[in-house]
Amino acid sequence: MSLRLAVEHFKRMEEDDWKVLYHLSRFIYSFMHVSEEVLTKATGLEAKRLDYRLRRLHEFGFVGRSRRGYTLLTAGLDALALRTLVGKGLISGMGREIGVGKEADVYAAVDDEGNRRALKLYRIGRISFRDTRRKRAYSSPLIQHQWLVVNIRAAGREWKALKKVHPLGALVPKPYGRSRHALVLELIDGALLCEVKELDDPKGVLMDVLESLRIAYSAGLINGDLSEFNVLYDGERAWIIDWPQAVRVDHPNAEELLRRDLSNILRYFRKVGLDYPLEKALEYVRSV
């Protein structure tokens, strides 16, 4: 929804619109509402011109407005992130939505050179369309605003984890770029393991997963949210996606989380006919 708004209005944005939107975003960590006075100072625009820009941004759905001031909305954050990624040549066209998860929307995209990419936008706290009773409360500008920071932090955590484990050879999407709550990732053409009911070589697929977990572990990280819902299988290799909740191996719950990750994934493999012992999997992941 908000990405559609961001893309639709992107081309209508003028330099001063971006300036106001950018300055508004600088305050998300400190204030929920930003007054015109503060924005005048920050942008250097005189009141009348600022007012004009704010009206446009409000009309685009990028900014919320109340008596207490102005608030950046999700679509505004999307627009800012897109602009940065477009500016870096990491995104030059958007494709269809390829995944809606618990915490993010993922779209197919292409970069400047025509390479296909996945654009992942964090959406923690978003309203579900089915959940109409809570819809009003969640979609209010104030509540949207509180989640912006949460989403930016989650993207930052996933970015850090992927930057750490991808270069070591783990089968995870290559991270190309990040802006705010958005990540540009290698696009994996595959199906989630939860949708794959039969595997020709379950042992080979499991070993891919264990090997990636072993590499992550050797880099000091445990995935922390592993299950058949976060593994993409491309017909040959298995890729572990979705790393924002990765924890360090010295985290007090690290061992428990590793056991849970492994139990989850081994339960899936039992369903496809491979019974692999938990202790053996643990030993493999912890071996250097």
Ligand X SMILES: Nc1ncnc2c1ncn2[C@@H]1O[C@H](COP(=O)(O)OP(=O)(O)O)[C@@H](O)[C@H]1O
- Asked whether position 241 contacts ligand X by CB under 6 A, the answer is yes
Q: In whole angstroms, give the CA distance from residue 150 to residue 147.
A: 5
Looking at residue 23, its amino acid is H
Nearest approach, Cβ of 90 to ligand X (angstroms)? 14
Q: Which is nearer to Mg ion, 21 or 226 (CB)?
A: 226
- Binding span for ligand X by CB under 6 A among 23-31, 70-78, 181-189, 201-209: 181-189
Q: Which is nearer to ligand X, 54 or 104 (CB)?
A: 104
- Residues within window 116-145 making contact with ligand X, judged by CB under 6 A: 118, 120
Single residue of 111, 208, 242, 261 touching Mg ion by CB under 5 A: 242
- Residues within window 66-105 making contact with Mg ion, judged by CB under 5 A: 101
- Of 78, 105, 225, 242, the catalytic one is 225
Q: Which is nearer to Mg ion, 199 or 231 (CB)?
A: 231
Nearest approach, Cβ of 84 to ligand X (angstroms)? 19
Q: Which is nearer to ligand X, 192 or 282 (CB)?
A: 192
Nearest approach, Cβ of 212 to ligand X (angstroms)? 14
Single residue of 26, 41, 55, 102 touching ligand X by CB under 6 A: 102
Q: In whole angstroms, give the CA distance from residue 224 to residue 228.
A: 13
- Binding span for ligand X by CB under 6 A among 51-59, 98-106, 210-218, 256-264: 98-106
- Asked whether position 228 contacts ligand X by CB under 6 A, the answer is no
Burial 244-263 (b: 16+ CB within 10 A, else e): bbbbebeeeebeebbebbbe
Q: Which is nearer to ligand X, 122 or 217 (CB)?
A: 122
- Residues within window 13-72 making contact with ligand X, judged by CB under 6 A: none
- Asked whether position 226 contacts ligand X by CB under 6 A, the answer is no
Q: Which of 183, 141, 133, 138 is nearest to 162 (CA)?
A: 183
- Out of Mg ion, ligand X, none, what residue 98 binds, judged by CB under 5 to 8 A for its kind, is ligand X
- Residues within window 209-238 making contact with Mg ion, judged by CB under 5 A: 230
Q: Check if 225 is active-site.
A: yes
- Binding span for ligand X by CB under 6 A among 75-83, 88-96, 185-193, 252-260: 185-193
DSSP string for the chain: -HHHHHHHHHTT--HHHHHHHHHHHHTTTT-SSB-HHHHHHHH---HHHHHHHHHHHHHHTSEEEETTEEEE-HHHHHHHHHHHHHHTTS-SEEEEEEEE-SSEEEEEEE-TT--EEEEEEE-TTPPPTT-HHHHHHHHSHHHHHHHHHHHHHHHHHHHHHHHHHGGGT-SSPPEEEEETTEEEEEPP--EEGGG----S-HHHHHHHHHHHHHHHHHTTEE-SS-SGGGEEE-SS-EEE---TT-EETTSTTHHHHHHHHHHHHHHHHHHTT----HHHHHHHHH--
In the complex, the residues that contact ligand X under the rule CB under 6 A are 98-99, 101-104, 106, 118, 120, 173, 185-188, 192, 230, 241-242
In the complex, the residues that contact Mg ion under the rule CB under 5 A are 101, 230, 242
